[in-house]
C-alpha cells in the first residue's frame, strides 16, 4: 500500500511540468515538423549505396550526435586492464557460472567498474550475450547471496545528510528486471555493470566518475562538445567490450547492448559509437533515446536538460525549446546501427517516453537498411499493443502497462536475438 503510494508520488513528480513549460500528451497537438534528411549528405549528395552510407553519411551523422547531443568520448585509456575477481560454477540451480570481473580504467587500479556475468553451464563453445547497465548495484539484479555488493557512490541524500549508496538497496531488489534464469535456459549469457561505477547519476559538475581521468592540464569540466554522463556510460560499455573479446566463454561477435529508460538511451549510443556491438535494444528509452525530439510530446529537450543537466553535452542545451534547430533527430540514431539489428520496445502507458515517437524513429530509419538489401521495420503503422513486430532488422513492440522492463519485454528480445544470432 505504502509502496504503491510512493510509486504514485514518484510518477507524479516526473509528470509534473517543469516550471514555465507546457507539457503535451495529445497526439493531435504535435506541431508540424520536418525531420533532418537521412540519405542526403551535407554537400547535397544523394546517398543511394551502402558504400556512400558507410564512408560519407554515417560519419557525418555520428559526428553531429557527438558534438551536439551526447558529447565526444575519449579513446579507451592506455591503462585499461581486467581481472577476474571471482568465478563460481554452481549458481542459479547449478545451471550457470557467475563471474565478476574488474575493468580497471587506470594502471593504478584506483578507478574500475565491476562486471557481473552469468554464463549458461550447458553450452557448446562460446555464447551470445546480453549486456546492460543496472540502476542500483550488481547485487540488486538477483538474490544470489554471493554477488559482491556495489559500493561506488550514488548521489547525495536529499536532506543533505550524507550519501545514498548502492548497499542501501536489497539483494535481488531489481530481479524482476533481470530474468537471468530465462536467459540461461535459452542459451544466453547476461552481463551487467552498476552505472555508478562509471559515473554516478547526479550533477556534480563532472568531478566524480571517469570524466576527471581525462581532463587536460587546467581543465575542470568537459568542453561543450565533450561527453556528458550518458556518453560516459556508453564509453564504459565499450570498455567492457574489450574484456568480452578476451573471454572464451563469450561470442564477442554476438553481444547485444540492452537498456531500460536512461540506460536504453545509453544502449543506443553505445551501439552507435562501438560497432562491435552486434545488436542494440532500447526499452522505454524516450527522449534522447528512441523517441523523435521534434514531436515534443511527453519529455522534451528543455525538460530533460533541466531535470538532468549532466546527461548530454553542454552544446545540447542550445536546443532547449528549439527542437527544429537540432541538426539531427533520433531516426538517425537508430540508423547508425545499420546493418546491425536493433530492437525498440515501448509501454503503452509510458506517455512521458512517447511510444509513437519511439516507433516512428525505427520506421524512418528503415531506408538505410534497404541500402544493405535488408528490411528495417516490416510494418508502416504502429502495431497493436502486445503484438510485436520481430521479422525485420528493426524490431518493435508496445507492451501493456507502464514504464518498466519486464519478462515480456525480455522474451521478445530473446526471440529477436534468436533470429539474428542462432
Ligand atoms: C525519467 C527521465 C526519463 C527516463 C527515466 C528513467 O525521470 O525523465 O528520460 O530516463 O527517468 O531513466 O527511468
**Digit-coded pLDDT (tens) for 293-345:** 999 999 999 999 999 999 999 999 999 999 999 999 999 999 999 999 999 99
**Quick one: pLDDT at residue 345?**
99
Q: How far is the CA of 262 from the centre of ligand 1 (A)?
A: 6
User: From residue 130, how far is each of 125, 225, 233, 254, 417 by CA, in Å?
Assistant: 17, 30, 16, 9, 9
- One DSSP character per residue, 112-137 reads EEEEEEEEESS-SS-EEEEEEEESS-
Catalytic site includes residue 126: no
Q: How far is the CA of 79 from the centre of ligand 1 (A)?
A: 33
In the set 261, 346, 361, 366, the catalytic residue is 261
> Does residue 23 carry a pLDDT above 80?
yes
> Does residue 5 carry a pLDDT above 50?
no
> Does residue 104 carry a pLDDT above 60?
yes
In percent, the amount of the chain with pLDDT more than 90 equals 90
Per residue in 236-274, pLDDT tens? 999 999 999 999 999 999 999 999 999 999 999 999 999
In the set 111, 263, 310, 403, the catalytic residue is 403
Site to probe by mutation for ligand 1, drawn from 11, 15, 228, 262 as the one with most ligand atoms within 8 Å of Cβ, is 262
Catalytic site includes residue 261: yes
Cell numbers linked to 350: 509510458
Output the furthest CA–CA distance in the chain (Å, rounded). 60
Return the CATH number at 392: 3.40.50.1820
Q: Nearest 5°: phi and psi at 182?
A: -65, -40
Residue located nearest, by CA, to atom 13 of ligand 1: 261
Cβ atoms of 285 and 353 closer than 8 Å? yes
Residues with CB under 6 A from ligand 1: 14, 261-262, 286-287, 299, 304, 307
Cell numbers linked to 176: 524482476
Cross-strand bridge partners of residue 389: 396
d(CA 277, CA 410): 18
What lies within 8 Å, CB to CB, of 82 at 6+ separation is 101, 102, 103, 104, 242, 243, 246
Confidence of residue 201 (pLDDT cuts 50, 70, 90): very high
Question: Long-range pairs for 36-42 at CB < 8 Å and ≥24 separation?
Answer: 36/326, 36/327, 36/328, 36/329, 36/332, 38/331, 38/332, 38/335, 38/364, 38/365, 38/367, 38/368, 39/367, 39/368, 39/371
| Total count of domains within the chain | 1
Nearest Cα neighbor of 338 from 146, 58, 7, 21 is 58
What range does the domain containing 287 cover? 2-421
**Quick one: pLDDT at residue 8?**
39
Q: Nearest 5°: phi and psi at 34?
A: -120, 125
pTM of the model: 0.95
3 state DSSP class of 367: helix
Q: How far is the CA of 261 from the centre of ligand 1 (A)?
A: 6
Amino acid at each position: 500500500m505504502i509502496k504503491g503510494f510512493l510509486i504514485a508520488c514518484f510518477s507524479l513528480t516526473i509528470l509534473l511540468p517543469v516550471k514555465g513549460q507546457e507539457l503535451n500528451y495529445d497526439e493531435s497537438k504535435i506541431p508540424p515538423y520536418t525531420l533532418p534528411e537521412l540519405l542526403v549528405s551535407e554537400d547535397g549528395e544523394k546517398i543511394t549505396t551502402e558504400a556512400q552510407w558507410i564512408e560519407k553519411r554515417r560519419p557525418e551523422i555520428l559526428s553531429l550526435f557527438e558534438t551536439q547531443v551526447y558529447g565526444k568520448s575519449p579513446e579507451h585509456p592506455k591503462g585499461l586492464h581486467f581481472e577476474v575477481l571471482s568465478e563460481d560454477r554452481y549458481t542459479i540451480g547449478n545451471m550457470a557460472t557467475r563471474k565478476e570481473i574488474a575493468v580497471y580504467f587506470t594502471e593504478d587500479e584506483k578507478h574500475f567498474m565491476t562486471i557481473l556475468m552469468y554464463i549458461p553451464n550447458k553450452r557448446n563453445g562460446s555464447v551470445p550475450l546480453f549486456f546492460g547497465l543496472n540502476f542500483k548495484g550488481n547485487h540488486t539484479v538477483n538474490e544470489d547471496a554471493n554477488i559482491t555488493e556495489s559500493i561506488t557512490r550514488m548521489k547525495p541524500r536529499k536532506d543533505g545528510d550524507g550519501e545514498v549508496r548502492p548497499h542501501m538497496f536489497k539483494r535481488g531488489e531489481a530481479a524482476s528486471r533481470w530474468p537471468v534464469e530465462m536467459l540461461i535456459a535459452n542459451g544466453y549469457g547476461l552481463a551487467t555493470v552498476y552505472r555508478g561505477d562509471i559515473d554516478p547519476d547526479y550533477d556534480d559538475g563532472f568531478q566524480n566518475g571517469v570524466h576527471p581521468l581525462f581532463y587536460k592540464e587546467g581543465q575542470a569540466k568537459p568542453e561543450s562538445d565533450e561527453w556528458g554522463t550518458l556518453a560516459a556510460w556508453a564509453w564504459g560499455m565499450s570498455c567492457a567490450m574489450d574484456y568480452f573479446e578476451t573471454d572464451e566463454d563469450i561470442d564477442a561477435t554476438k553481444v547485444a547492448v540492452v537498456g531500460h529508460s536512461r540506460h536504453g538511451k545509453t544502449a543506443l549510443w553505445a551501439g552507435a559509437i562501438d560497432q562491435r556491438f552486434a545488436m542494440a535494444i532500447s526499452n522505454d528509452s524516450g527522449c534522447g533515446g528512441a523517441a523523435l525530439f521534434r514531436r515534443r510530446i511527453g519529455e522534451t529537450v528543455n525538460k530533460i536538460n533541466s531535470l538532468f543537466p549532466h546527461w548530454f553535452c553542454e552544446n545540447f542545451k542550445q536546443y532547449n525549446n528549439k527542437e527544429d534547430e537540432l541538426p539531427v533527430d533520433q531516426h538517425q540514431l537508430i540508423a547508425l546501427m545499420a546493418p546491425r539489428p536493433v530492437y525498440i520496445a515501448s509501454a503503452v502507458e509510458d506517455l512521458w517516453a512517447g511510444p509513437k515517437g519511439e516507433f516512428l524513429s525505427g520506421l524512418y530509419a528503415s531506408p538505410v537498411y534497404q541500402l544493405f538489401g535488408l528490411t528495417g521495420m516490416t510494418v508502416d503503422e504502429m502495431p497493436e499493443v502486445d503484438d510485436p513486430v520481430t521479422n525485420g532488422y528493426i524490431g518493435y513492440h508496445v507492451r501493456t502497462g507502464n514504464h518498466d522492463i519486464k519478462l515480456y519485454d525480455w522474451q521478445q528480445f530473446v526471440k529477436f536475438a534468436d533470429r539474428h544470432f542462432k
